[in-house]
Amino acid sequence: MTEPLSPAALFDLEGRVALVTGASSGLGARFARVLAAAGANVTLTARRADRLEALAQDLGGADWSAGDLSDAGYREQLVEHIARQHDRLDILVNNAATNDEGPLETQSLEELESVVDLNLVAVMDICRLAAPLLFASKDASIINVSSMYGVVASRGPMTAYNATKGALVNFSRHLAAQWGRHGVRVNALAPGYFPSEMTGDLADPDFVRSIEDKNLLRRIPRIEEIDGPLLFLASNASSYVTGHTLLVDAGWTAI
């Protein structure tokens, strides 16, 4: 019988190459810190160069590249940069996203398109461009950051956000089916409301109470409660898991 790996070895990312999009703040910055702490060589990308530079320094000189992922030209430059630096990509965390507000009937086409371009088109295109680098890895893992609103609908009006996060769930399933033969695992990570810029860092007491009322644990999450799910999907701990959506929502979607 094969001896079980130690828990530390299961989650060890030493020497692996990771790319985290939307890494300048919120969950993206947290994801970058967690992967780096587990030993990964992390490249950070987002639009805000000052924040990326500060985070890179905190991580001991991590690689970073600032740009707009809605720009197809920048996406090509980013993947070319990873290729020049590493010749492979082991962990791709597609986290960059934006939100829309207001009823659909009052929104402009431009507003809807901007959300779809960043939340969905950019994710598919980065996967497309990075395919040769991912295929060159022995342990490739793509983590598409969806949302619990990719599984159930929000009551608040954010049509394009709901649509794109739902699309990411099925895109992850589809790509897992296509790329399993290359050894690439593809999963979706679907958080509930975590402290971030997008959620106002959960500073609004009324908002906090509404979250507490609707989830099964009756509390808001601590930011570190996303660390384990991310590491699970990124590491050998999930080596036989693909095409899965991991909800981290305190049971919001369970009932």
161 catalytically annotated: yes
Q: Minimal CA–CA distance to 189: which of 249, 255, 115, 251? A: 249
Please give the backbone phi and psi of residue 45, each rounded to the nearest 5 degrees, phi first: -145, 145
Distance CA 103, CA 29 (A): 30
Tokens 């959300």 locate to 115
Residues 6+ apart with CB under 8 A from 121: none
247 phi, psi to nearest 5 deg: -85, 135
Residues 6+ apart with CB under 8 A from 107: 100, 159, 160
Closest CA to 92 of 135, 49, 149: 135
Which residues contact residue 170 at a Cβ distance below 8 angstroms, ignoring those fewer than 6 apart? none
User: Which residues have a catalytic role annotated?
Assistant: 161
